[in-house]
Amino acid sequence: MDLELGKSVIKALHNGNVPSIGAGYIMAGHEEEKNKIVEELEYIRFEKNKTSHSGFKMLYGPYGSGKSFLCEILKDEALASNFVVSEVVISRNTQLHNFETVYNKIMAGLRTDEFREFSAFRIIIENWLNKSKKEIIKKFDLDPDENEKDEEKLVQKLEEKILIELGKANTTNPSIINAVSGFYKAVINGDHALAQNALGWLAGEQHVQTNFKKQMNVKGNVDKTNVFEFLRTLLYIIEQSGYAGLLIIIDEVETVRKERRDVRYQAYENLRMLLDMVSKDNLPGCYLLLTGTDDLVEQEDRGIKEHDALYTRLEPIRLGDIKVLDQPLMRLSRFDTQQLINVAKKVRDLHSSVYNWNADDKISDTFITQYATNFSKAFGKEISTLPRTFLKNFAFILEAAKTESMSKIKSLLNISEEQIQSVNKQIEQFGRETAMDIEL
């Protein structure tokens, strides 16, 4: 076990967050769902001399069913398997009806296993161009560092290769080609401002200055008429850079339900177009993972059912109690007391390894079962939406157990009235859904 990674998981739980890395250490439940999506990721991954595919899945369920947790585990596994990953959260600032903005957020969110803290777009495109550069130097026996004519020939041949390569990606927009060429020329010339603006334009930034556009010879911006061409170009560059594919996570799609009807329709229409693209393998190497609530999927009003074309593409086949994970919709059940017990045991064992002590001596299986049961009784039906509060409290109990006497630790089995009142007050003041947003 990586002790630093384990420590970061414990720290995340202290803060009431889903661990951004290492969540698999404490996974308890939804293994079947995770394995199915991993299997589908393997199916769509780029492989040399093979036809590439694309795919999608929508995870849905009530608050506290583990959607975010499962997404973090899948994100972690995809990065470790050499996928590029981008996560977009639908919100007031990132609205699904404006797909240009969603595209820009996808680009800003690009991450690789080596570069998890900032957008990896520049790294990805430089990997591709440097690979092409080495092929040209070898093929034409060039020495651009020592010979000026060789450098000029390299730039010329690279431009020609970019045109040919992007043609394979069905990139017909000359501005995309010019922006890629403009980026590389700017890098060679040490023009950092132009290089950044070229990347910004390719990433869908809407306010690239006119003088930079003229220098690159590009026109317009990313919009709903060309956004899929930009995505196809990105996927081709990802493939040529040596990555396995692209996992795009679009989280909290249920936010669309809060919009007015015409805005909702456009958002659902954009989603329908995106699902059609991946269903037809028109975005090879791309896997789309959506998340939403029960109301988004099942309510007649304001959810995906009000867009017939979209719902037709997602509508599940009902087979009684038989779970069919191959369907587009994958429902996650609520987090129950037994799952709290299972995950608490994993957190305890992780804490023991990370901090080199035997937590079992004070926090036994019996203690965990009693604590989880008391927690469940204290919050009643709301337990299904409070796993993070439970884990946050439990992490602090583990910390205290290292130094405090057993009599004091046993007193923690009683859930404080202050905590119960705090959550219930939020539910009473803001309503159940908003209160759970605050808690989560």
pLDDT in tens, 283-311: 999 999 999 999 999 999 999 999 999 99
| Whether residue 125 is found in the same domain as residue 106 | no
Tell me which of 276, 296, 331 is where a domain ends: 331
Are 208 and 348 members of one domain? no
Residues 93 and 107 in one domain: yes
Residues 108 and 253 in one domain: yes
The span from the CA of 434 to the CA of 412, in Å, is 28
Last residue of a domain, one of 270, 301, 331: 331
Distance from C-alpha of 387 to C-alpha of 333, rounded to nearest angstrom:
13
Beta-ladder partners of 329: 58
Contacts 24+ apart (CB under 8 A), 360-366: 362/401, 362/406, 362/409, 363/397, 363/398, 363/401, 363/409
Is 24 a member of any domain? no
* Chosen domain end from 280, 305, 331: 331
125 shares a domain with 78: no
Verify that 434 and 344 share a domain, yes or no: yes
Radius of gyration of the chain (CA): 25
Residue 37 is assigned to a structural domain of this protein: no
Q: Work out the percent of the chain whose per-residue pLDDT is above 90.
A: 69
Domain residues for the domain of 259 are 48-112+243-331
| Ranges 48-52, 395-399, 415-419: which has the least confidence | 415-419
Q: Is 324 a domain residue?
A: yes
- Whether residues 251 and 395 share a domain: the answer is no
pLDDT of res. 75: 96
Same-domain check for residues 311 and 365: no
Q: Are residues 260 and 279 in the same domain?
A: yes
In a domain, residue 35? The reply is no
21 within a domain of the structure (yes/no): no
Q: Is residue 407 part of a domain?
A: yes
Question: What are the tens digits of pLDDT across the range 424-435?
Answer: 665 555 444 444
pLDDT in tens, 13-23: 988 888 888 88
> 325 with 355, same domain?
no
For the chain, how many structural domains are there in total? Answer: 3
What's the pLDDT score for residue 429?
54
Rounded-to-integer distance, Cα 420 and Cα 243, Å: 48
Decide if 186 is inside a domain. yes
Considering the domain architecture, whether residues 126 and 214 belong to the same structural domain is answered as yes
What is the CATH classification number for the domain harbouring 284?
Answer: 3.40.50
Tell me the CB-side half-sphere exposure of residue 311, using CA atoms within 13 A: 14
pLDDT band, very low/low/confident/very high, at 174 (cuts 50, 70, 90): very high
Assess if residue 12 is contained within a domain: no
300 and 270, same domain (yes or no): yes
